[in-house]
Amino acid sequence: MSKQSALKILVLALILVAIMGIWAVKNKPTENQPSASFTTSDSAASLVQPDNDTDFILETSTIDLESLSAYGLPLIIDFGSDSCIPCKEMAPVLQTMNAEMQGKAIIKFVDVWKNQSAADGFPVQVIPTQILIGADGNPYVPSEDITSQIELTQYTYKDTGELAFTVHQGGLTEEQMRLILSDMGVEE
């Protein structure tokens, strides 16, 4: 084998190793949120404890509304993607709010490009879209103060006219999310 052929094989092998390394780094499982943990201070005594290690973690691949609603906490589910620009802009807000609201509200993120079926049954037309559910497990009914500041869409069932979903399309700022959670009854 000539030196030129050996060099070509070596370069090709190095490129292949680099590609595999990049793939491994990009597909490495991440732990964006640790398991919920709570202090034992007086204010923490009233926080809701998770039944398992995944219910209060931000990222999920499926949504079990029945299980999450059983906690009796307001719920915000963000359907987005790790790849869309508005979703990337909102990611730090979701991470901050999930960490701060442990035991007071449940904040979830579903990457619908990776988990398309997770959005089945929800009115997701664009990403990001947030589904807002009250502590009682029913769709969030916003006050007039909130609807004058944040554009929300309310979907109703055709046959009964009953509220089916309260939705926000597009990104939310941290301030907007705090306003919504406050309106849902969450005390900071």
Q: Where are the domains of the chain?
A: 49-183
Q: In whole angstroms, what is the distance from residue 84 CA to residue 140 CA?
A: 26
Place of tokens 């490129």: 15
Residue 28 burial (CB count, 10 A): 7
- Exposure of 106 in the CB half-sphere (CA atoms within 13 A): 31
Question: What integer pLDDT is reported at residue 34 of this predicted model?
Answer: 36
Q: Hey, what CATH class is 49-183 in?
A: alpha beta
CB hemisphere CA count around 157 (13 angstroms): 7
Helix intervals (H) in the chain: 3-26, 65-69, 85-100, 144-147, 174-183
Is residue 111 within 8 A of residue 60, CB to CB? The reply is no
Average pLDDT over residues 149-171: 96
pLDDT at 188 over 80: no
* For residue 8, pLDDT beyond 80: no
Mean pLDDT, residues 64-93: 95
| Residue 43 scores a pLDDT above 60 | no
Question: Which pair of tokens denotes residue 98?
Answer: 């999930």
Q: 109, 141 in Cβ contact below 8 A? A: no
Is residue 174 predicted with pLDDT exceeding 70?
yes
